[in-house]
Structure 1
């Protein structure tokens, strides 16, 4: 399976702007720029897209783990907070992706839930590709 996306950029790094598009059409010339990345201008940025990818990948991995263990979630809500920090030697690096999962899963005990959440955090493909610290805060909700 191969998934594709495209980036177009015009101008300098600080004053230029670009757009991102995905083959599925979900992103269609979505604007990004220095201001959408480092300030609060509307648009997206690579770190936000990585956070969405990690949250989605992890949550789906939890759902599959639950299914294999005989459980069905009423709801899984995940936030991924990706940290962009200065890198040694200049530039920036993704240093961390902090996953926060809140789940409603009938009939599961806390130990089994933690086991399945940890396995999903370690084994979802996005977690495997990240060269960053990944943390997980997983809680069952009533």
Structure 2
């Protein structure tokens, strides 16, 4: 049985002059503004790349947390920042990369086992599987034993 989550987007007007609102089932986003100026300029609001980055960061971090718990670790802190690269391609744009930066503290774990667990989470989290762009993982810091 599939778990289904939803988001809704509405856009009024067309092109650069248009603007929209995006909402999520959970209410985390409720009529959040988005448009050309929130995507390509510094206007307050959100954009698809930011939402993909949030989805990838939370999915990867959760996958890693569950993988570490499965190995018997009970404490620690994982912090991850995802940067989505949007590049011009022809008349449009393409997402070319999702770069994961990871900081972690997992007491009692060695760095080789942690790296293996993190790489497994990178490959197997559902959002990683969804993305077809390059996905990198940069170990910013790790503290174990």
With normalisation by structure 1, the TM-score equals 0.96
Root mean square deviation of aligned Cα: 1.0
Stretches of structure 1 lacking an aligned partner (at least 5 in a row): none
Indicate the SS of the match to 1:44.
coil
Matched-pair contact (CA < 8 Å) for 2:107–2:143: no
Corresponding residue of 2:76: 74
The number of residue pairs the alignment matches comes to: 141
Alignment of 1:46-61 (within 5 A): 46-61=48-63
Matched-pair contact (CA < 8 Å) for 1:73–1:103: no
For 2:125 and 2:76, locate their aligned partners in 1 and report how far apart those are by CA, in whole Å. 21
With normalisation by structure 2, the TM-score equals 0.94
Matched-pair contact (CA < 8 Å) for 1:54–1:127: yes
Matched-pair contact (CA < 8 Å) for 1:63–1:73: no
Stretches of structure 2 lacking an aligned partner (at least 5 in a row): none
For 1:13 and 1:127, locate their aligned partners in 2 and report how far apart those are by CA, in whole Å. 30
TM-superposed deviation, 1:74: 2.0
Matched-pair contact (CA < 8 Å) for 2:76–2:105: yes
TM-superposed deviation, 1:51: 0.1
Matched-pair contact (CA < 8 Å) for 1:50–1:82: yes
Alignment of 1:30-109 (within 5 A): 30-87=32-89, 89-109=90-110
TM-superposed deviation, 1:119: 0.1
